[in-house]
Structure 1
């Protein structure tokens, strides 16, 4: 159970599923479809959906590459957190957004697996959140030309190691889209 007091709720995080981030990502369409399934489920269960959007020299604010993919549609009532660093908590209002909704557990989706997703997983856990990764709802691009493993291997490795993460008073884990739940980690 989260170490954050009075934070029994869960939120779905959708990280950086932007045109310029996922245009050539591994299993792009399947990942986006899975994220849409989770967004629909969260909305049906009245669970907050929090959208995170990265900007940088390559992803200039307002550009087409900076925009979220057209297959994912954020509602005006759903928070949009703008960031400039890998960890979605770093120098953003994400913590305030989550605190205001009583959120102590995160269900994480998005891109890129080996950058912003991984940074946010660890950022959440060290800040006291229970953090669940949806193993078939995150992706990355092919960086093998720089010596990285294939995207499928990066995703598989992240899913594997996150399955065994924990910290005092906090839980982590990896689930599939079909297994994902928005109940608190302790099942209450």
Structure 2
């Protein structure tokens, strides 16, 4: 369980599902549809949905590429965290948003698996959060031209190694969209 005192709530994090980020992403439409299912379920269960939106010189704030994909819409009442680094906690108010909502457990979805998702789940875990990665609700573009494995292998590796993360007083895990629960620790899905 989380090491954060008096923080028993769960939040769904939706990270960087922006036009310019997921345009050529692996299984883009399926991943976006799964995230939409998670958002609808979280809202129906009264679970906070926190949106994270990246900007930098290649993704300028206000540009079409910077905007969230049309299939996902944030409600005005749902927090939007603007970031400039991979880890959604760095240089943002994410910690304050989560603390204010009493959140100690995160269910994480979005893009990109090998960048902002990886940085954020590690950043959250190191800060004391329980972290569930939604295995079929994160994606990445193809970076094999720069020596990375193909995106399907990157995603599979993320799902494999996150199942085995351990730290005192915290839980990590991976669940598919249909198996995600917003209460309690991550389901034990070990290969």
Identify the TM-score tier after normalising by the shorter chain: over 0.9
Structure 1 residues 72 and 3, CA gap change in structure 2 (3 angstroms) = same
* 2:182 corresponds to 1:182: yes
Structure 1 stretches lacking a partner, 5+ long: none
Q: CA separation in 1, counterparts of 2:99 and 2:112? A: 25
1:159-174 equivalences under 5 Å are 159-174=159-174
Question: Could you list the per-position Cα deviations for residues 73-95 of structure 1 after superposition, in whole angstroms to 9, with x for gaps in the alignment?
Answer: 00000000000000000010000
Equivalence for 2:69: 69
Question: Could you list the per-position Cα deviations for residues 96-127 of structure 1 after superposition, in whole angstroms to 9, with x for gaps in the alignment?
Answer: 00000000000000000000000000000000
Q: CA separation in 1, counterparts of 2:126 and 2:174? A: 17
Question: Could you list the per-position Cα deviations for residues 121-155 of structure 1 after superposition, in whole angstroms to 9, with x for gaps in the alignment?
Answer: 00000000000000000000000011100000000
Question: Could you list the per-position Cα deviations for residues 46-72 of structure 1 after superposition, in whole angstroms to 9, with x for gaps in the alignment?
Answer: 000000000000110000000000000
Equivalence for 2:133: 133
1:186 Cα deviation (Å)?
8.3
Equivalence for 1:44: 44
Equivalence for 2:3: 3
Equivalence for 1:149: 149
The answer to whether the 8 A contact 1:2-1:171 is kept is yes
The answer to whether the 8 A contact 1:2-1:129 is kept is yes
The answer to whether the 8 A contact 1:9-1:184 is kept is no
Determine helix, strand or coil for the equivalent of 1:167.
coil
Equivalence for 2:100: 100
Q: CA separation in 1, counterparts of 2:185 and 2:134? A: 14
Structure-1-length-normalised TM-score: 0.98
The answer to whether the 8 A contact 1:55-1:61 is kept is yes
The answer to whether the 8 A contact 2:42-2:182 is kept is yes
Determine helix, strand or coil for the equivalent of 1:3.
coil
Task: Please provide the CA RMSD for this pair.
Answer: 1.0
Structure-2-length-normalised TM-score: 0.97
Equivalent pairs counted in the alignment come to 187
